[in-house]
Structure 1
Amino acid sequence: MLTALADGALLAEKTGATPPTVVALHGWMRTGADFAAIVSGLDAVSIHLPGMGVTPEPPEAWGTERYAEAVADAIEGFGPVILVGHSFGGRVAVRLAASRPNLVRGVVLTGVPLVRLTAAKKPALGFRIVRSLAKAKLVPQSVLEKQRRKHGSADYLAARGVMRDILVRTVGENYDDDLRRLSTPVRMVWGENDTAAPADAGRAAAAMVRGARFRVVPGAGHLLDGELRTAVREELTAMIEETEA
Structure 2
Amino acid sequence: MSSTELPASPTAAGAASRVHAVRVAEGERLRSVELPGLTLNVRYRPSGTPGRAPALYVHGLGGSSQNWSALMPLLEDVLDGEAVDLPGFGVSPPPDDGNYSVTGHARAVIRLLDAGGRGPVHLVGNSLGGAVATRVAAVRPDLVRTLTLVSPALPELRAQRNAWPTALLAVPGTARLFSRLTRNWTAEQRVRGVLALCYGDPGKVTDEGLLAAVEEMERRLRLPYFWDAMARSARGIVDAYTLGGQHNLWRQAERVLAPTLLVYGGRDQLVSYRTARRAATTFRDARLLTLPEAGHVAMMEYPEAVARAVRELIADRSGDGRGDGARS
Aligned to 1:88: 128
CA contact (8 A) 1:186 1:213 kept: yes
Q: Which residue of 2 aligns with 1:4?
A: 32
Q: Is the 8 A contact 2:101 2:232 kept in 1?
A: no
* CA separation of 1:191 and 1:215: change in aligned 2, threshold 3 A: same
Counterpart check, 1:65 vs 2:103: yes
- Which consecutive aligned stretches of 4+ in structure 1 deviate over 6 angstroms post-superposition? none
Distance 1:240 1:35, change over 3 A: same
Deviation at 1:49, TM superposition (A): 0.8
Moved more, 206-215 or 235-244: 235-244
Is 2:180 aligned against 1:145? no
Alpha carbons 2:264, 2:276 under 8 Å: kept: yes
SS at match of 1:33: helix
**Paired residue for 1:193?**
267
The residue number in structure 2 matching 1:27 is 60
Q: Percent identity, aligned pairs only? A: 28
Moved more, 202-211 or 13-22: 13-22
Q: Does 1:48 align with 2:85?
A: yes
For 1:171, what is the secondary structure of its paired residue? helix
Structure 2 gaps of 5+ residues are 1-28, 183-192, 195-220, 242-248, 320-328
Which of 169, 172, 175 aligns to 2:236? It is 169
User: Once the two structures are superposed, what CA deviation does each residue of 1:159-196 show, in whole Å capped at 9, x if it has no partner?
Assistant: 62243123123224131111111011001011111111
- CA distance 1:239–1:87, change in 2 (3 Å): same
Question: Distance between the aligned counterparts of 1:217 and 1:120, measured in 2?
Answer: 18
SS in 2 for 1:214: strand
CA contact 1:84–1:236 (8 Å) conserved in 2 = no
- Name the CA distance, whole Å, in 1 between partners of 2:160 and 2:301: 31
The residue aligned with 2:198 is none
With the length of structure 1 as denominator, give the TM-score of the two structures: 0.79
- Taking a change above 3 Å as real, the CA distance of residues 6 and 179 of structure 1, as seen in their structure-2 partners, is farther
Further displaced range: 160-169 or 215-224: 160-169
Runs of at least 5 residues in structure 1 that lack an aligned partner in the other structure: 136-140
Q: 1:102 and 1:171, CA in 2 relative to 1: closer, same or farther beyond 3 A? A: same
SS of residue in 2 equivalent to 1:231: helix
Q: Tell me the distance in 1 between the aligned counterparts of 2:68 and 2:125.
A: 10
Match of 1:138 in 2: none
Shift of 1:149: 5.8
Answer yes or no: is 1:183 the counterpart of 2:250.
no
**C-alpha displacement of 1:6:** 5.1
> Paired residue for 1:37?
70
Q: Determine if contact 2:122/2:145 at 8 Å carries over to the other structure.
A: yes
Q: Distance in 1 between the 2:316 and 2:231 partners?
A: 39
Q: Matched residues in 2 for 1:75 and 1:165: separation? A: 24
Change (3 A) 1:180 1:11: same
Deviations 1:96-137 (A, max 9, x none): 00010001011001111213032799x9xxx9xxx9xxx9xx
CA distance in 1, matches of 2:103, 2:280: 20
TM-score (normalizing by structure 2): 0.61
The residue that corresponds to 2:278 in the other structure is 204
Write the deviation string for residues 8-66 of structure 1: whole angstroms up to 9, x where unpaired. 72111112359861100011111111111211123110111111100001231421111
Show the counterpart of 2:304. Answer: 230
Q: Equivalent of 1:106, from 141, 146, 167?
A: 146
CA contact (8 A) 2:289 2:309 kept: no
